[in-house]
Amino acid sequence: MPEKHLRSGSALPPLKAGVIRHYSMLYCPFAQRVRLVLAHKNIPHETVNVHLKDKPEWLQQKNPQGTVPILELDDKIIYESTSVSEYLDDVFPSNKLQPSDPYRKAQDRILLEYLGKLGASFYTLLLKPEEIEKVAEDLGKHFKYYEDTLVKRGGPYFGGKTPAMIDFYMWPLFERFQAYGTRNKKIYIDKSNYPKLAEWLEALKTLPAVQATSTDTKTLLHFLDSVADGTFDYDYGIN
C-alpha cells in the first residue's frame, strides 16, 4: 500500500545508505514511468510520495524545479523522468529497455517528442471539457500517427516483440486517455478504430510491471476530476 503524500512541514525521512529512493506522486504520469522501470527490472528501492500543491520545504533541495520524479542514492540525485529511467536502465542492464541501435534510439526519441502533442490535448480535455470535439479531432491525427508506426514496427510493442523504454514512456498518458474514453467514446481506442494501438494496450496490460503500477479507472478518474476542480486529492485511495 502506498504511503500518503508528505506536505509542507513534513520532515525528510532519513536516508538509508545504499538504498535507492524514488520521490514520487502516486498519480503523476512522469513518476509512473520511473515506477514502471523499477518494477520491470525488479530494482530494490523505497518510495517517498510528495504533495505537489503543498510541497515539503526540502523538495527543492532535491530538485530546483520542485517536481517529481527524483531519484536519490547516497550522494547522487537525478530528476526528470527520462533521465532517471535511462540512468536506471544503464546501471541495471538486465532486461535492457533502450535500443542498442542508434537509429532506432533516434526514432524512439522522435516518438517521445511527438507525445508532447498528446499531452497538450489531454490537459485541454481535462481543464476545458467543452472543447471535446476539437480535442477528439486532434487526437484522431495523433493516434493515427502511432497506429501507423506500430504497423511499420510489427508490434505488439513499439519495441517490437518485447517492450522497450518508449513503451513505458507512453503507457501512462494512454492509460489516462483510456480512462477518459470510458466517458466519451470519441477518444476511446479499440480494435474498431485503431487495431494496432488496441493490441498494444492489451499487450502492455499483461506485463507485471504495468499491472503493478496501474490505477483502476474509477480511482484515476476521481483524481483527474480533482485536478480539474482544483482540489487535487493526492491521497485518494490511500488508507
In the annotation, is 28 catalytic? yes
Cell of 4: 500518503
Cell of 136: 477528439
Cell of 2: 502506498
> How many Å apart are CA 108 and CA 112, to the nearest integer?
6
> How many Å apart are CA 31 and CA 78, to the nearest integer?
13
Query: For 82, how many CA atoms within 13 A lie in the half-sphere containing its CB?
Result: 10
Query: For 47, how many CA atoms within 13 A lie in the half-sphere containing its CB?
Result: 21
> How many Å apart are CA 182 and CA 177, to the nearest integer?
9
Among residues 26, 28, 36, 68, the one annotated as catalytic is 28
> How many Å apart are CA 84 and CA 66, to the nearest integer?
15
Active site residues: 28
